[in-house]
Structure 1
């Protein structure tokens, strides 16, 4: 099946904007604009990582939830709030979920 969009794809467009901000805008910016440019660069990096890693992370998360016998995060949260979950796999699943989030938000936090 053909993709609905031509090249460049979303990931390439985001990378191009991030590169422009890093190489052209940031060196010329000062003060508040420099700060906001750094924020924008970081946000675009997160978007790039989510595009790249998101599908595999979503699949792995669904497997973890199924292994715990829940259908989604809301159901898992309800079980935790009710104190009904003493499954030793819970901590491992939650740790993996947080690591996946950090892998997108800031890989340096690992």
Structure 2
């Protein structure tokens, strides 16, 4: 076990420093490049924070859906092959739910500010509260 702060905290700290202390001082084209770098660091932070759990959940859904074992890569390859061959489709129990959950997990990392993603999160929260 490594001492704190870990990679997640370090990456977030650098992004916050650049965003809050450096970005206001940088003009023009370099400001754009700095925003790109900050966005990259934010993405890496989200990957470090969210990816292991979402990959584990995706793998478990795929194992149930396909009734087989394998790495996440192998399971996704098997699912793609079955879809291409017409062996599974959106009427296959669990497939639509798996695809939706996987998409939402990927958006949480890649595009958490995406308007459609935010709306779906709110809709899901409202549905959970009322059920």
1:22-58 deviation per Cα after TM superposition (whole angstroms, max 9, x unaligned): 0122111122211111111111111111111112111
Match in the other structure for 1:93: 98
Relative contact order higher in (CA < 8 Å, ≥ 6 apart): 1
Task: List 4+ stretches of structure 1 deviating above 4 A.
Answer: none
Number of aligned residue pairs: 107
The answer to whether the aligner puts 1:104 opposite 2:109 as a matched pair is yes
CA RMSD of aligned residues (A): 1.4
Provide the rounded CA distance (Å) in 2 between the counterparts of 1:75 and 1:30.
49
Provide the rounded CA distance (Å) in 1 between the counterparts of 2:27 and 2:93.
51
Structure 2: unaligned runs, 5 residues or longer: 118-131
Provide the rounded CA distance (Å) in 2 between the counterparts of 1:12 and 1:21.
14
Residue number among 72, 77, 84 corresponding to 1:74 in the alignment = 77
Structure 1: unaligned runs, 5 residues or longer: none
